[in-house]
Chain A
Amino acid sequence: MKRKIGVRREVRTESENAIEVKNLHKSFRLPTEKAWGLKQAIFNRLRGIKGYKDQKVLKGLDFTIKKGEFIGIVGRNGSGKSTLLKILAGIYYPEKGEVIVNGSLIPFIELGVGFNPELTGRENVYLNGALLGFSNKEMGEMYDDIWKFAELEQFQDQKLKNYSSGMQVRLAFSIAIRARGDILVLDEVLAVGDAAFQQKCNDYFESLKEHGQTIILVTHSMENVRKFCTRAIMIEDGKIVHDGEPEKVAEDYLKLFK
Chain B
Amino acid sequence: MTDTTNGEVLLELDGITKQFPGVLANDRVDFDVKSGEVHTLLGENGAGKSTLMKILYGLYNADEGEIRLRGNPVTISSPSDAIEQGIGMIHQHFMLVPTLTVAENVALGLPSSKRMLMDLTPVRQRIRELSDTYGLAVDPDSYIWQLAVGERQRVEILKAIYRDVSLLILDEPTSVLTPAEVDDLFETLRQMTRGGRGLVFISHKLHEVMALSDRITVLRLGRVTGRTTPAETSREDLAHMMVGRQVKLAPTRTDSTVGEARLTVRGLNVIGDRGTPAVTDLDIEVRSGEVVGIAGVSGNGQRELAEALSGLRPVASGEVIINGTDTTNRSPKEIRRLSVSYIPEERMRDGTVAEFSVAENLILTDHDLPPISRRGFLDFNQIKQVGSALVKRFTVKTPTLETPTSSLSGGNIQKLIIARELSGDPELLIAAQPTRGVDIGAAEYIHSVLMGQRAQGTAILLISEDLDEVMGLADRIAVMFEGRIMGVLDRAEATISRLGLLMAGVEEPNDSE
Is B a genuine binding partner of A?
no
